[in-house]
Chains A and B, each alone.
Chain A
């Protein structure tokens, strides 16, 4: 059962490759795969919620010999988020991805991307994490370059280079980790790290991992690749990237700095907190300066990553619970905003705020969907973003880190400002006469594109209105994170020498 989140997207992708010349069949296999993934994720979430951390040992080898798959509540929550987004994107792609892009293998790649993401969420082994990272990266490289437009190629080149460098830093960290601790199983690392002889290497190692994961998560000062690449592919691809890829970075940061590298909390988590402040601030400043919807949204992703890191840096139950809610909320809302910008682009052929306008008059329904998502992102009560921000800020107040709370609140204001910018220029102002020919008031987005947007908006609303149970879940997940002993005893890594090892 625990292998299914990896196997289902894999099977769907392979089937897609078999139907290479039949894009319609690929669409259906992808959709069926994603729905199956969603069902399995819900089942896994229920099991984890009821019975605690679930562990599967690859090939029935005892940990740390084999590769463990571990699903704690955080993994289960993120798995569910990934499956929801995957389903939404699969539906959206019916209308948004034409046969031409499908001919280059869009649908199988989408499945493989999901496989990499799910694998990264559930693995309990550091080297296996590297492998899932690469699965995810290779799919994302191709998705980013697919279609081969000029700006896509430029974005893909930058994205590829920086990610390869991040992978190498990750590998160096892995090599040092193995030589110091002698194991790659996360639970085993967490267990033996306090006792290793060479304590001087622990902090440099932690910093290598922080750099590698920080690049993937787009944390300050390593975020410059994100605004250079995320706006270039078709909006549906931007949506899945912004919704999930940076979350994998944040997830691995969370995992590494709540399970393994907790020996130097004073230093590492303060560093994370300071970086989160910068990430938020510079991200939102970038967004304020931009004029295209998708560029604004890309910069926003950076600033929102800052809030999640802030929750992690505060390192308290409420902070982590806030960060977890933030991850889910941001995945859904940000992806949804990208999907809406896709509908806008589908109807007018551009998303530059200088050229469009009058959407509120012409397409009131789309405008309402946008407004709800944008308000959720900006954190207007009672939508999901408000609660997520509230939890993180409250945690900051409780720990009396007043400066970071101040930064978070100012950034919140600026977020609202840049969202109203899209609203005022894209939806309220009349269409510029020069570009009036672009607007066709009778044009409607295909149902397949609108339906997933409605679905995601409903989930956002529900998250906001029924916040109580969601916070309870997040709080339990945060408590699990802060107490690694449960994770370690669930995996139960054996003493290697007892199995007949050397040295």
Chain B
């Protein structure tokens, strides 16, 4: 399982970086989203993909033997929510950029601020 996930992460990172380097704004956002997914999957994989029992504390006994570690999932959940918000903002921003500059080419944005 780890191998499959590792390859998936690699492909996502490669695709994400490729997309970020394209000129189109839309592809920029898609690239950022892909990179985000790759990172989340990576945390998931690093949390060790094993079959465990639910991590519930039973009174005095503490955790069951072989309980799964819930923390990576919690981290990913947080990262997904944050990533979602940021991507929503990014989409609005490029929509605004598009309506102001009337272009989907990032190269035309070089030095518009120099007078």
Chain A interface residues (CB < 8 Å from chain B): 127, 130-131, 134, 137-138, 141-142, 145, 148, 150-151, 153-157, 160-161, 164-165, 168, 171-172, 174-176, 178-179, 184, 231-232, 352, 499-502
Contact = CB atoms under 8 A, between A and B. Distances in A.
B111 to A, nearest CB: 9
A171 B79 contact: yes
B63 A153 contact: no
Nearest to A175: B43
A168 B42 CA distance: 11
Contacts of B3: none
A442 B35 CA distance: 55
B78 A178 contact: no
A232 B113 contact: yes
Contacts of B113: 150-151, 154-155, 231-232
B89 interface: yes
B32 A164 contact: yes
A137 B93 CA distance: 14
The 6 nearest A-B residue pairs measured at CB: A500-B62, A151-B113, A179-B46, A175-B43, A175-B46, A171-B39
Given A141-B89, A175-B43, A179-B48, A131 B65 contact: no
Given A168-B35, A175-B39, A502-B66, A154 B75 contact: no
Among A141, A160, A171, A500, chain B packs the most CB atoms within 10 A around the CB of A171
Contacts of A138: 85-86, 89
Given A171-B39, A500-B57, A150 B96 contact: no
A502 B69 contact: yes
B101 interface: yes
B112 A151 contact: yes
Given A138-B86, A178-B72, A502 B67 contact: yes
A164 B43 CA distance: 17
Interface residues of B, number: 42
Interface of B: 20, 25, 28, 32, 35-36, 39, 42-43, 46-48, 52, 55, 57, 61-63, 65-67, 69, 71-72, 75, 78-79, 82, 85-86, 89-90, 93-94, 96-97, 100-101, 109, 112-113, 115
Contacts of A165: 20, 32, 35
Given A175-B43, A178-B72, 4 more contacts: A145-B96, A148-B96, A157-B97, A500-B62
Contact of A150 (B55, B85, B100): B100
B109 to A, nearest CB: 5
Contacts of B82: 131, 134
Given A145-B96, A178-B46, A150 B89 contact: no
A281 to B, nearest CB: 23
A141 B93 contact: yes
A374 to B, nearest CB: 24
A477 B43 CA distance: 34
Contacts of B52: 502
Contact of B109 (A127, A137, A157, A501): A157
A171 B32 CA distance: 14
A167 to B, nearest CB: 8
A148 B100 contact: yes
Nearest to B25: A157
B91 to A, nearest CB: 11
Contacts of A231: 113
A150 B112 contact: yes
